[in-house]
Amino acid sequence: MTWPILTDPAFYALAVPAVLLLGVSKSGFGAGFGSLAVPLMAIAVPVPQAAAILMPLLLVMDLLGIAAYRRDADWRLFRFLLPAGLVGTLLGLLLFKWLDAHLVAGLVGVFTLTFLAQRLLWPPRPDRPTPPRWLGRALTVTSGFTSFIAHAGGPPINAYVMSLRLPPVAYTATMAYFFFVINLSKWGPYAYLGLIDLTNMATSLVLMPLAPLGVWVGVRVARRISPLWFYRFLTWGMLLTGLKLVYDGFVA
């Protein structure tokens, strides 16, 4: 029996770096870069198919991430974020067939660049209060929604959690657990939408060996980097991600 995998070399030329970026992102380090995975793969295949191919890889990456950070999460913050994130995935399911994924990606990019501009003009200071909880909920709903549509949930939630200035490992662990549950909640809806098929799952298996490699690199870096450089790297990751998403959504 021949497995019905994708065989286009151009797809794999894009999918390999996309999966590695996503693995580093799923470790919690460089979280903004993970949002580039679907846009990169969507150069070769439709956005929904790219998102479906990544689903098994996300599951493995999420399991590796929570295993690496099982004692480090900020559980109070996690309990605050999760309900809003699940509301966002429900909105994604309800609107999936009526929304263009490229437009969603472009809007996420605009939001990301706006957030970074705000941080540049009004940088956070120790005496400045943390963002209000209602804003955190709104951004987390947005994160769940964009995660469902295009696995691009990182930038919206980063805009809130980065402002809390958590220690790098606590930040990484909390995001790992949050996206583990969010991504797990998408399996049933993706199957309902007809995205979980043999071709997509077989192609995921071909790419699977890359999943632990990316997570391993990200975990090692996140446990060794200083908080200053950790947040600088996140900022640059969000900048490049925002520019790429805006280009994909409104220019390409």
Q: pLDDT at position 32, please?
A: 58
- Asked whether residue 245 is domain-assigned, the answer is yes
Q: pLDDT at position 1, please?
A: 43
Q: pLDDT at position 121, please?
A: 62
- Asked whether residue 181 is domain-assigned, the answer is yes
State the amino acid at position 71 in one-letter form.
R
Coil vs helix vs strand at 140: helix
- Asked whether residue 4 is domain-assigned, the answer is no
Coil vs helix vs strand at 156: helix
b (16+ CB within 10 A) / e for 148-177: bbbbbbbbbbbbbbbbeebebbbbbbbbbb
Locus of tokens 């390409």 = 252
- Asked whether residue 1 is domain-assigned, the answer is no
Note down the domain range covering 103. 9-250
Do 109 and 249 contact (CB within 8 A), yes or no?
yes
Q: In the chain, which residues have pLDDT < 70? A: 1-4, 26-35, 101, 108, 115, 118-129, 219, 222-223, 225, 227-228, 230-231, 233-234, 237-238, 252
The pTM is what?
A: 0.78
152-194 pLDDT, tens digit per residue, is 788 788 888 888 888 878 888 898 899 999 999 999 999 998 8
CA atoms within 13 A on the CB side of 173: 17
Of 142, 156, 162, 26, residue with least CA distance to 84: 142
Do 161 and 175 contact (CB within 8 A), yes or no?
yes
Q: pLDDT at position 181, please?
A: 94
Q: pLDDT at position 137, please?
A: 95
Of 209, 212, 80, 95, residue with least CA distance to 145: 95
Locus of tokens 């809003």 = 84
Of 14, 58, 2, 13, residue with least CA distance to 34: 58
Q: What is the 3-state secondary structure (H, E, C) of 175-239?
A: HHHHHHHHHHHCHHHHHHCCCCCHHHHHHHHHHCCHHHHHHHHHHHHHCCCCHHHHHHHHHHHHH
d(CA 226, CA 87): 34
- Asked whether residue 232 is domain-assigned, the answer is yes
Coil vs helix vs strand at 20: helix
- Asked whether residue 173 is domain-assigned, the answer is yes
Q: In the chain, how many domains are there?
A: 1
